Amino acid sequence: MAVMSAVDVAQTIQLIIAPVVLITACALVQNAILGRYAAIGQYMRSLTLERLQLLRSDEAKIYIIKNGCKKSIAKFHS
């Protein structure tokens, strides 16, 4: 039976642990990126909701009636 030295044991442990650490690091980076994309998506949804509420409000209708031009409609639709 071959006897392993302390250096061989340490290298074997390093070979076993290295892929685990790499996979964990990749998962953490991926989680951070997905969190950022989720925050951006939520921000876009909230801006869209705010825009729709503005377009449906009485203030927007009054502005369009007062100015009576297509530019005012384009202002609220852009």
Kindly give, in sequence order, each residue whose CB lies less than 8 Å from that of residue 60, ignoring residues fewer than 6 positions away.
Answer: 54, 76
| DSSP H or E segment with residue 34 | helix 6-56
For 64, the token pair is 């369009």
pLDDT at site 66: 73
Q: Please, what sign has the CA dihedral across residues 66, 67, 69, 75?
A: negative
pLDDT at site 71: 55
Instruction: Please give the chain's pLDDT, 78 residues, in tens.
Output: 678 899 999 999 999 999 999 999 999 999 999 999 999 999 999 999 988 888 787 777 777 677 765 554 455 555
pLDDT at site 2: 76
CB 31 within 8 A of CB 40: no
pLDDT at site 42: 96
pLDDT at site 62: 72
